[in-house]
Structure 1
Amino acid sequence: MTDRPAKVREALRGGDPAAAMRELRRGGDELGLAEAAPLVAEIADAVGFEDLARAARALGDAPGGAGALYAYGYACVGRGVPFLAVPALAEALRLAVGPPPSRGLFGRARRQPAPEPQVILAELAVALEDEERHAEAVDVLERHQGILRDWPDRYLLARNAVLAGDLGRARRTLDALPPGGPDRQGAADRVRRALDRAAVAGRTGPPGLQDLRAWHFVLTGGLLGTLSPYGFAAGMTGRYAYLGDSYEQCRHGLDRLRLILDAAGQRPRSVSLLPDRGSRALGLAAARLSGLPAEPYRPGTPDTLVVAYDLNELDEALVPGLRARAAGEVLYEHVTCWTSPPPVSADVSTLLAQFVRAPWDAATRYLPGDDPVEEPADPRPAEELAADICAADPGPDTGDGDTPPDPDEALAAFVRAVRGRWLTGPRDQVRSSGPVRSSRFD
């Protein structure tokens, strides 16, 4: 066993709290709550998360109390480290649904009061969902049917059932959910739209749990233009972990976009250019290849193709306009990050990747028998980059030869099957990669 606490503190001494947190994640179940909490407090102090530091210290003072466990788990979820919250909330739930705590003198509880078990259960389900442990969230909610509330508990059950690929359970749970107010109804409608998309994506049954294109459509409403031709047998299932992008890949993506638009019967009248250089270059290339006029993006423009290289690079001020789709507007993104999804789900994505180096970014080239060669970033304007995209070979990457083929005919057939449910509803952010699992970097 490695000395995990020493590694965490070494990273903190080096001024790298993010590396310290990664050490805790890599530790898995190696550390118990009593050992992990003081380390979490030190990391939280280093980044100024006073609420988390306070909750971690309180847990150290009362390691067996449901109230302290819940407060710590709640703070972990709020600060984006749900993996730390799960064991604390699971233990808090076990204590909360068990025998009542012993009392001290004069009948006062010895420990911090805990919320109702339903509150702890819901927070545990949220933590598991944030960790993409959807089947576990479904299981823990099902095991506590006797205390489930309709909202949010049964809604969380329906949502996580979809994300786990259990569509029958999701439909049954959603159908039994009573109507709520506007916010609750909006949440239920998002699950219902996903189930409706699943009905057309699977056609005769639920999509298989390696059918990445179908599940991408079910969860996001978007169409996936290409599947990675590398590492399918090694667990990538059509996604990239790291991609050194190329002009050829950009051109192939635009050709696949044109195939999708044709199969769906969509005829944009213009291309809208987003302001960052990569998106502008790709948009200018799309306009030239399709013979459409290009113009700066303006929210509410109908019948336009909005082109983005990477929506995570989007100016936040543009997000509200893109979430509310104009009539006939299609949002295209070349690279969609599947581990840190963008704030807006694209209507078409060329590919899913975890880390990407754009063709115009600085790069390190490794040649057999030679030292690595550092290549600087390409400083040319978007117009010149667009010309290189248009001139690139549009043929697909042949890949490793051990990955299922992804022919044009299969993509066109899928688009024709689902086009009635495409371009409907808002472009919600979807934080989960769903039931199709892929290997990823830490």
Structure 2
Amino acid sequence: MTPELSKAWELFEAGDPQESMHTLRRAAEELASEEIAPLVAELAAGAGFTDLAEASTALAARPANAERLYVFGYACVERGIPALAVPALRAALRLTLAPPSTPERTGLFRRRSTPRPESRLTPRRVLLELVTSLEQVERHADALALLRAHDSLMADWPDRYLTVYNALMAGRIDTARQVFDGLSEPEGVWVEPGRRVGRMLDRAAALPPTGSRDLRGWHCVLTGGLLLTLSPHGFDQGMTGRWAYLQDDFDSCRHGLERLRTVLDATGRRPASVGLLPDRGSRALGLAAARLLGVPASPYRPGTPDVLVVAYDLTACDPETVHALTERAEGELLFEHATCWTETPGASADVCTLLVQTVTAPWEPRLRLSEDGRAEQAEPDDRSAEELAEAILAADPTPAEGDGQTPDDPDPVLAAFAARAAGLWADGPRARIRSAGPVASGRFA
């Protein structure tokens, strides 16, 4: 038993199944699937995941079996632990690609062949599930290499479409364009995904990112949205413009609205009204935006033309409302202040102030230092949305200085980028993009 697996068992037996699973996930590439299967069965049973528990038990009873490896990997993907699926599915792919064993000789010239049972498990089926698991852990370069190596197994849809998608997410625009141009016309459910990657390629051609740290450029290519600010902390230490954790403040909200106004001016967009979402934070920010832009505000109604819909954090909004925002009315714009980049919202905003993994809004309970230097939880700000809007408007819009590592990003730079993007901006459905794309940033486990 490896040290990692031994540690995972110890954690499980000590009553900490969550950390036991984290240990397995972190060491997944060093652990054989059949070796971890008994522990995964115990963890799955404790969580009520009967399908995964049964698949794990079956794999432990018969290792090195392609079908059981596949079923185990599939169940891991379904239960949100794709890191454990990758080694199992990779092993299943090797087995399904292996030539049949040589029949046993039984005489001078005769061979006795033991017929293999019919299996519906094909290399292509395993390949596509393996690509899915790699996508979910954002190993797009690995997924792309796998797809290119096994292109002879593949059809255009969805197989080579996945090659295009993973090439884009890995920053390989030339490869994505080459494969996309060779695809046949999509049909049925693949029409919109085909259009989606086509729009990404059009944006990449019009606004080519300058490298693997061009966060605004890649954000625009992948989501179609305009990123207003870059984090002023830790750019060279791996954050590359994103936040891992942020205790937000009213100054940041006001600065975001000012940068939004810069983008609207640069693109020539003039919203006729502001659409207010029902949660208190979004309503407060929307009321402040309406005052700043000099337009009326009213509760958001899907289908309203030329409306600017304002959200503080879409992941905190009603899911049905967010789903409605995937389709845009004529002239509609969606602005989100704090966009989660690790668990992305169901609709990609047309404009967002910042990208963050975990955010504490200015009105939420927050940590602060007491007079004697101890960390303590401050009381929430219980003021109404209208009062919070006044606080946002009264705040200082000057950006935070930071540590000096982040590239200079004055208003003219943002305005120039927005003007170049205007022709391809706010077009098509607001598809959810689950991946962070080619720009890597530090994150919490």
Report SS of the residue matched to 1:331. Answer: strand
Asked if 1:116 corresponds to 2:122, the answer is: yes
Contact residue 330 and residue 347 of structure 1 kept, 8 A: yes
Structure 1 residues 375 and 434, CA gap change in structure 2 (3 angstroms): same
Q: Which has the larger radius of gyration?
A: 2
CA RMSD of aligned residues (A): 2.1
Asked if 1:337 corresponds to 2:340, the answer is: yes
Contact residue 323 and residue 346 of structure 2 kept, 8 A: no
Contact residue 28 and residue 87 of structure 2 kept, 8 A: no
Contact residue 305 and residue 332 of structure 1 kept, 8 A: yes
Q: Among 255, 258, 261, which residue is 1:255 paired with?
A: 258
- The total of aligned residue pairs comes to 438
Distance 1:215 1:353 in 2: 16
Partner of 1:107: 114
Partner of 1:420: 423
Aligned partner letter, 2:195: D
Report SS of the residue matched to 2:167. Answer: helix
Distance 2:102 2:19 in 1: 40
* TM-score, normalised by the number of residues in structure 1: 0.94
Asked if 1:131 corresponds to 2:137, the answer is: yes
Partner of 2:231: 228
Partner of 2:108: none
- Residue 107 (structure 1) shift: 2.6
Contact residue 338 and residue 352 of structure 2 kept, 8 A: yes
Distance 2:372 2:407 in 1: 32
Partner of 1:52: 52
- Residue 34 (structure 1) shift: 2.2
Q: 49-58 or 347-356, which moves further after superposition? A: 49-58
Structure 1 residues 440 and 320, CA gap change in structure 2 (3 angstroms): closer
Partner of 2:155: 149
- Residue 138 (structure 1) shift: 0.7
Matches within 5 A, 1:13-412: 17-100=17-100, 107=114, 109=116, 113=119, 115-202=121-208, 206-366=209-369, 370-412=373-415
Distance 1:356 1:30 in 2: 34
Deviations 1:315-373 (A, max 9, x none): 12213321110011110000000000000100001000011111111112136962223
Aligned partner letter, 2:31: L
Report SS of the residue matched to 2:203. Answer: helix
Distance 1:170 1:45 in 2: 42
Aligned partner letter, 2:207: A
Q: 40-49 or 4-13, which moves further after superposition? A: 4-13
Aligned partner letter, 1:72: F
- Residue 29 (structure 1) shift: 3.0
Distance 1:404 1:360 in 2: 30
Aligned partner letter, 1:343: G
Structure 1 residues 409 and 8, CA gap change in structure 2 (3 angstroms): same
Structure 1 residues 299 and 10, CA gap change in structure 2 (3 angstroms): farther
Report SS of the residue matched to 2:98. Answer: coil
Deviations 1:19-38 (A, max 9, x none): 33222222243432122212
The structure 1 segments of at least 4 consecutive aligned residues displaced by more than 6 Å after TM superposition are 102-106
Deviations 1:93-149 (A, max 9, x none): 111111225789983548x94611111111111111111111111101111122222
Aligned partner letter, 2:114: G
* TM-score, normalised by the number of residues in structure 2: 0.94
Deviations 1:56-93 (A, max 9, x none): 11111111111111111111112221111111111111
Q: 371-380 or 352-361, which moves further after superposition? A: 371-380
Q: Among 425, 433, 441, which residue is 1:438 paired with?
A: 441
- Residue 11 (structure 1) shift: 5.0
Distance 1:386 1:214 in 2: 31
Distance 1:383 1:2 in 2: 58
Instruction: Report sequence identity in percent.
Output: 54
Distance 1:83 1:56 in 2: 15
Structure 1 residues 367 and 399, CA gap change in structure 2 (3 angstroms): farther
In structure 1, runs of 5+ residues without a counterpart are none
- Residue 151 (structure 1) shift: 2.0
Structure 1 residues 241 and 71, CA gap change in structure 2 (3 angstroms): same
Report SS of the residue matched to 1:323. Answer: coil
Contact residue 201 and residue 218 of structure 1 kept, 8 A: yes
Distance 2:365 2:127 in 1: 47
Aligned partner letter, 1:100: P
Distance 1:91 1:141 in 2: 16
- Residue 215 (structure 1) shift: 0.4
Distance 1:27 1:426 in 2: 38
Deviations 1:222-242 (A, max 9, x none): 100101111011011110011
Contact residue 306 and residue 330 of structure 1 kept, 8 A: yes
